[in-house]
Structure 1
């Protein structure tokens, strides 16, 4: 007798995961939803109105997830990931900013929480399922010549989220489904409206936290100098974590300057922020560590690919040079602006995500 494949889907309370759940059920799968709880109330409630982020008071999102599950007639489990999220994502977020780096918490959350701890925690409750699904815009394929699963860009390149997924392992890719990979955002919205989903008009989440990052960092002031390239003191700062590469406004300079100035370097060791001109922001190369190759085996030779140094960045031609310590050196065909330590660089070959790493 034919047995339905069981799918566990992460329901965030948003339109994308809701439509993904609907599509899976329509295709005949046995679908169960899970919503992860990550807000433990230890942070100040964001002063901004609305809840268009992942981290924040979540009663409204959980209530919405229940409405979606009820509408789709699927069971829903709330999974407590608060302690793990605090340790894996928030502590790393604080530590990176203290070291003068600008982290990407969404990438870390996906790799360790959303696609790792979340489904594992659900399995521990005794619920069995064959695949895990989310509402991410991405695709998964299989290369029979290498016997490896591959992460591919979504059909809707404007909504493609593979930049945030490059740390997914072969095991995770083999156990994951992305139902929205072949759809555009407009098509997803239209499906939601057509079937009358209660979240059809809900705005997309904009950031991982809708409040002030200082609420998360909770760091005491640590005054230091703002200097130019020659070491001349131009101002004072209250903590290097208030700055990121490319920042222009609110630099705290002692006097006006002829040309616009930008943050070009942050030194945690010296507690110094260095500023310079726009031209100083350009780099022809970088080094990345904590490299993850999601679709191929770690290369032993130089490979040519395109690379993105941030989510909205246009992929640029680059040469990836493997190093003996498993890091990579990346040389760009054209200099890139605002290469930022702590952010991720992701490598592509056509629509396939080769892998990526954290910029040092």
Structure 2
């Protein structure tokens, strides 16, 4: 059983949740929704009082741990008044996972601007989850689809600042956490990491920039010295081709778009956001709240379905690894 959080009540979360349940109700994985039951339309709903009681209800109705909103939600129009309920759903889901009552947490998209206006101090889900379920290492984002896994070393910051912040130590830190996550949660005994270069042609021996020689190559050397199978810096324009992808299990990318452009190009609807370095399993769809189409019944549930399926797989691998 997985816990699926409410996310932004005015976004597409409620409708893709209903469609995901309709797709998974016969074969699973099983999940329960933490949030306001009145948000769910078009499918039968079972208000349950625990994850344990949700399993029996799942084939017939979407199980919901009903947590009413303080004000009604209107699709496409988020309200600051709902922010505490959105955060409470995340906190409760994490608590259930930490207690072993659910196998993992899947999060519907949140509207960061609404949460920030309500006083939320974190840049997003990842940092909040690190506070709730951290393990002493920084939480690391991985984007995964069947064809590719990518880990961005820097994420939501201007490109100039991201490049200025790159160090061999920062790259190594993210690569170590990715390596551990691939072993524990993906069941890969000896993960292979490909580290992307920063500049065109990975610097072209210094003629197109010094960072690949001065920052990226030392990081790869440090990883190899630790026994991690890492290669690079690889020219970014060839790293994600069909010929190159089978040679590694995850690509360590140096900035946001270097990681997200290839995976969204390959599988926009099937990409999943995985948070590594937590004490729990957490995945989410690789898209936002889509306020512009919320409530219109046209949002695709494919990324949420992929996130639920991957969370169940990761939970299985983690249990096996622990055993």
TM > 0.5 between the two? no
Give 1 or 2: higher strand fraction: 1
Give 1 or 2: higher helix fraction: 2
> Taking structure 2 as the reference length, what is the TM-score of the superposition?
0.27
> Taking structure 1 as the reference length, what is the TM-score of the superposition?
0.25
Q: Which has the larger radius of gyration?
A: 1
Higher relative contact order (CA 8 A, sep 6+): 2
